[in-house]
Amino acid sequence: MSLPVVAIVGRPNVGKSTMFNRLAGERIAIVEDKPGITRDRIYSRSEWNGREFHLIDTGGLDFGEQDEILDHIKNQVELAIEEADVILFVVDGRDGVTSADEEVARLLYRSNKPVIVAANKIDNIKHKDEVYEFYQLGFEHVIPISSIHGTGTGDMLDVLVSHFPDKEEEAYDEDTIRVSLIGRPNVGKSSLVNAILGEQRVIVSPVAGTTRDAIDTPFEYEGQKYVLVDTAGIRKRGKVYESIEKYSVLRALKSIERSDVCLVVIDGEQGIAEQDKKIAGYAHEAGCAAIFVVNKWDAVEKDDKTLDRFKQKIRDHFQFMEYAPILFVSAKTKQRIHQILPLVSEVAEQHAMRISTSVLNQVLHDAMLRTPPPSDRGRRFRVQYSTQVSVKPPTFVLFVNDPELAHFSYLRYLENQLRNSFSFKGTPMRIVLRKKN
Ligand code: GDP
Ligand code: GDP
């Protein structure tokens, strides 16, 4: 089930990015190692009263060279209408209604999406009545807020959340492996979808599965049911924002949430880009199984070391995803395309694997005997008991004497020992520490 999407729109300088940063809170993806300038971050996963949602600051999207500020606003709004469940229309509460605000409103009328007007920069609550003027823009909700001080944002979020679509049931049964292809624009995702579905033994179901905003392609291969998630989104072409690099992140986020296995597609011809790292990082964080698919291998000039060198580059760039296998393919010549689904099926099995409590405890016990944890000022980390609490991804709870004593490197060691014993190929793993009383 994908999370609701909230898009922030509005003319420049009304406070969109300030508001985004306030709503995005402290949460910064672990893979983003340097914060950079504010406008580097235009997506965030936020939460209000237990409802999670994605937030996009469309003002931070780079639509390329544009002479007119209005063209830029038009693109923002078009993207918001296309992608968002709820639109947050920010205006400057002190300026009154401007012609640019009216233009945004006019564009928004065309959509059936709920629009909430946030009259920003009302730092002094005494001025909150002045925002009534903004009702003339024609939307039901006008909420005075101050992004700088945070006043009013709670009321605004209450209204926002009340317009989220109802949660939907996932349409597929437990046995169906949900796969998505993620990656930057032009790496060959849609070509790979076609290549996979075009394989001889792939039987595509006549009726495409649909959910609220995604068109999926269910199919069978060697008796196993699969569904390619959001294939319509991948295949959709010709929209102005298709070429926007940052936009691809949202697409990825939405399909990752609904997937068991993510194919992280990398352009073999162009090599690894910073954006690839972010996209792969989201799959990792979401607990999806992952396979690196290096596409366009036909177009790469090769000698006998090219493949190993490329593998090493992937390992260097994606150190947090050592578990993910790597395939070198060509959607164009179909080279190794037939290896994709068997690997997906293998990885999906590992993603759903359960280890019995007794075997798990034996393995961890042995590992800790072989390499005992270092002692910290005379105290040593001890694991009393462990158990696997869930799958997809495999999650283990370790009941320990004191979680503070666990060093990151030692947990890494234990994870590696589990991987040595059980493989868990292609899947991230979670280890949760609980203090045993
Ligand atoms: P954007 O172009 O719409 O993203 O606007 P910014 O977030 O960059 O904000 C434009 C200017 O308005 C900056 O100088 C902000 O500090 C200021 N600003 C944003 N929100 C508020 C607010 O709630 N109160 C006041 N007084 N200034 C604000
Ligand atoms: P998407 O944006 O990730 O869906 O990428 P597309 O599937 O639209 O492909 C982008 C471009 O790369 C197109 O011009 C494709 O013809 C080309 N392309 C895709 N796969 C391959 C491949 O395996 N080899 C070569 N040489 N070109 C490819």
Question: Is 93 one of the annotated binding-site residues?
Answer: no
Same domain for 59 and 81, yes or no, is yes
Query: Measured from the CB, is residue 251 less than 6 Å from ligand 2?
Result: no
Residue 186 beta carbon below 6 angstroms from any ligand 2 atom: yes
Residue 172 lies in a domain: no
pLDDT of residue 163: 93
- Same domain, residue pair 375 and 347: no
pLDDT, position 187: 92
Give the per-residue pLDDT at 296: 98
Q: What average pLDDT is seen over the chain?
A: 86
Is residue 188 located within the same domain as residue 153?
A: no
Spell 92-109 as b/e; 16+ CB within 10 A means b: bbeeebeebbeebbebbe
User: Each residue of 379-416: pLDDT tens digit?
Assistant: 899 999 999 999 999 999 999 999 999 888 999 999 99
- Note whether 291 and 347 are same-domain residues: yes
Same domain as 101, residue 134: yes
Residue 51 is predicted with a pLDDT of 87
CATH of the domain at 416: 3.30.300.20
- At residue 63, the pLDDT reads 61
Q: 286: domain range? A: 177-351
pTM for this model (two decimals): 0.74
Q: Do 406 and 326 sit in the same domain of this protein?
A: no
* 60 assigned ligand-binding residue: yes
13 is in an annotated binding site: yes
Ligand 2: residue whose CA is nearest its atom 6: 188
Phi, psi at 168, each rounded to 5°:
-105, 155
Segment 118-141 shows an average pLDDT of 91
State how far the Cα of 219 lies from the Cα of 227, in Å rounded to an integer.
Answer: 6
181 lines ligand 2 (CB under 6 A): no
Asked if pLDDT for residue 206 goes beyond 50, the answer is yes
38 pLDDT more than 80: no
| Ligand 1 pocket residue status of 64, Cβ below 6 Å | no
Pocket lining: 332 vs ligand 2, CB cutoff 6 Å: yes
Asked, for residue 170, whether it belongs to a domain, the answer is: no
Å from CA of 332 to ligand 2 middle: 8
Residue 23 is labelled as binding a ligand? no
Ligand 1 pocket check: which of 8, 16, 18 to mutate, most ligand atoms within 8 Å of Cβ? 18
User: What is the CA(146)–ligand 1 centre distance, in A?
Assistant: 9
Is the CB of 258 within 6 Å of ligand 2?
no
Q: What is the pLDDT of residue 208?
A: 52
Strands, sheet with 51-57, edge to edge from the N-terminal-most edge strand: 43-48, 51-57, 5-9, 86-92, 115-120, 141-144
Q: Ligand 1, from 147, 149, 156: best to mutate by most atoms within 8 Å of Cβ?
A: 147
Same domain, 144 and 12: yes
Strand segments (E) across 102-254: 115-120, 141-144, 177-182, 202-204, 209-210, 215-221, 224-228
Note the pLDDT of residue 245: 59
Which of 163, 186, 211 lies at the terminal end of a domain, its last residue?
A: 163
Label residue 321 by pLDDT band (50, 70, 90): very high
Cross-strand pairs, 266: 294
Residue 69 has pLDDT above 60, yes or no: yes
pLDDT at 1: 56
Q: Is 184 in the pocket of ligand 2 (CB under 6 A)?
A: no
Q: Is there a single domain that holds both residue 13 and residue 134?
A: yes
Paired residues of 88 in beta bridges:
8, 116
Counting every residue written for the chain, the total comes to 437
Q: Which of 55-64, 239-248, 308-317 has the lowest mean pLDDT?
A: 239-248
> Would you say residue 151 has pLDDT above 50?
yes
pLDDT of residue 33: 36
In a domain, 171, yes or no: no
Q: Predicted confidence band at 343 (pLDDT cuts at 50, 70, 90)?
A: very high
Say if residue 291 is in the same domain as residue 212.
yes
Q: In ligand 2, which atom is closest to the CA atom of 295? A: 23
Domain boundary at 163, 193, 219, which? 163
Last residue of a domain, one of 315, 336, 351: 351
Tokens read off for 200: 């001889």
State in Å: Cα 141 to ligand 1 middle.
21
Same domain? For 204 and 294 the reply is: yes
pLDDT mean over 133-148: 94
Residues 284 and 240 in one domain: yes
- Per-residue pLDDT for 72 more than 70? yes
Q: Does the beta carbon of 147 lie inside 6 Å of ligand 1? A: yes
Determine, yes or no, domain membership for 389: yes
Q: What is the CATH number of the domain that holds 137?
A: 3.40.50.300
Q: pLDDT value at position 248? A: 65
Question: Which pLDDT band, with edges at 50, 70 and 90, does 309 fall under?
Answer: very high
Query: What atom in ligand 1 is closest to the CA of residue 12?
Result: 2
Same domain, 238 and 305: yes
Nearest atom in ligand 2 to the alpha carbon of residue 331 is 23
Q: Does residue 398 sit within a domain?
A: yes
Give the largest CA-CA distance in the chain.
73
Is 248 close to ligand 2, i.e. is its CB under 6 Å away? no
Number of domains comprising the chain: 3
Residue 242 pLDDT more than 70?
Answer: no
Confidence of residue 37 (pLDDT cuts 50, 70, 90): very low
